Amino acid sequence: MARITLEHLRHAYGPNPASPQDYALREVNHSWDDGGAYALLGPSGCGKTTLLNIISGLVRPSEGRILFDGQDVTQFSTEQRNIAQVFQFPVVYDTMTVYDNLAFPLRNRGLSEDVVNKRVPEILDMLELTSRARKKARGLTADLKQKISLGRGLVRSDVNAILFDEPLTVIDPHMKWVLRSQLKRLHRQSGFTMVYVTHDQTEALTFADKVVVMYNGEIVQIGTPAELFERPKHTFVGYFIGSPGMNVFPVAIEGSKARVGGMDIELGYAPAVSANQKTELGIRPEFMELSRSGMPVRIRKVEDIGRLKIVRAEFAGQPVSITLPEDTEIPAEPHVVFRDNGIHIYADSWRVGREA
């Protein structure tokens, strides 16, 4: 177990990277606390897997250092780093039995059969694979295979960290939920540092204490699920987290006033934006209300999703989503109201705070 520090990591797959676009990973500075449960969230191709493979040593970074408890491990091999990793697509050794599959990482490290016979049945039991232990690991369904892959990641008791690369992609929804709770429980029991890569916000928000959001090869925000929801630091976070995502409008800032769709909104503070920056106003659908007064809005469609209604509307010439409690009446001539605490101002996509 270790605290993992990433210092100025950059990585490009091609040789001689020139522009920032050549980098799969642009610049990452971050520390994973010992024993933390982290989710690495972001869209496909944002560099999540690259970052994970750099931590486990499968990929050498083009620039920067990785430290485990202060020791530089950048040049260490995967074995020397002692990291467990579970991949998106299941890997099983199908000429071995299920039991031998789980014993494989232990035996490769020369552990005695006593240790193997103690450790493997525990993991088999946790993954409900005990009844198959002595069968060959071939011809299994995708989720059984992935359970075996997970098992091989969890079986070692001395690892520095366990990395999960979208491990539940191929697993059916019910089993997903079960396995996720088991992982969470295992984290509490074992205290391993766990990094869980996913593009599914529900998975990220339920698994992790802290969520790291990546976009375009950079970490854009690190925070608790509540922080990501309430104060998205980047318009991408606002858009990616929450369903539906944050509404973002182009806005003109004049002192403490924001002009959007021909209406002025009083912000109560003057955001520090310079004239040549692209300024936007972001507001989550949960912080908007429909009433008889306010700014005019045209309603396109109302989706009833049970507890909530999602109103798809048009405001200031662009689509907007508004969520309302189920029993809310929609006024005949609807107007939209923004609640003060939900308004965020972004300059070149980054949040400009009250404090700035």
Partner 1 sequence: MDKTWNNKAWFMVLPAFLVVAFSAVIPLMTVVNYSVQDTFGNNEFFWAGTDWFKDILDSDRFWGALWRNLAFSVIILAIEIPLGVFIALNMPRRGIGVPFCLVTMAMPLLIPWNVVGTIWQLITRSDIGLFGYGLTQIGIPFNAAGDPLHAWITVIVMDVWHWTSLVVLLAYAGLVSIPDAYYQAARIDGASRWSVFRYIQLPKMKRVLLIAVLLRFMDSFMIYTEPFVVTGGGPGTSTTFLSIDLVKMAVGQFDLGPAAAMSIIYFLIILLLSWVFYTVMTSSDATN
Residues of this chain that interact with partner 1 (CB under 8 A) are 53, 56-58, 77-79, 83-85, 87-89, 91, 93-96, 104-105, 108-109, 138-139, 149, 152-153
Single out the residue of 249, 332, 319, 256 nearest to residue 293, CA to CA: 332
Complex with partner 1: residue 146 or 279, whichever CB lies closer: 146
Complex with partner 1: residue 95 or 224, whichever CB lies closer: 95
Residue 37: beta bridge partners?
Answer: 194
With tokens 């209300």, the residue in question is 289
Dist. CA 153–CA 168, nearest whole Å: 14
Minimum distance from residue 136 beta carbon to partner 1 (Å): 8
Complex with partner 1: residue 120 or 273, whichever CB lies closer: 120
Phi-psi region of 268 (alpha: psi -120 to 50; beta: other; left: phi over 0): left
Complex with partner 1: residue 86 or 313, whichever CB lies closer: 86
Minimum distance from residue 125 beta carbon to partner 1 (Å): 21
Complex with partner 1: residue 129 or 220, whichever CB lies closer: 129
Single out the residue of 197, 162, 188 nearest to residue 82, CA to CA: 162
Minimum distance from residue 123 beta carbon to partner 1 (Å): 14
Complex with partner 1: residue 152 or 351, whichever CB lies closer: 152
Dist. CA 38–CA 61, nearest whole Å: 21
Q: Please provide residue 154's backbone torsions phi and psi, each rounded to the nearest 5 degrees.
A: -95, -15
Minimum distance from residue 82 beta carbon to partner 1 (Å): 9
Complex with partner 1: residue 96 or 337, whichever CB lies closer: 96
Dist. CA 86–CA 55, nearest whole Å: 13
Minimum distance from residue 179 beta carbon to partner 1 (Å): 18
Minimum distance from residue 212 beta carbon to partner 1 (Å): 21
Minimum distance from residue 149 beta carbon to partner 1 (Å): 7
Dist. CA 37–CA 162, nearest whole Å: 10
Extended strands (E) in 16-160: 25-32, 37-41, 63-68, 71-72, 83-86
CB atoms within 10 A of CB 293: 9
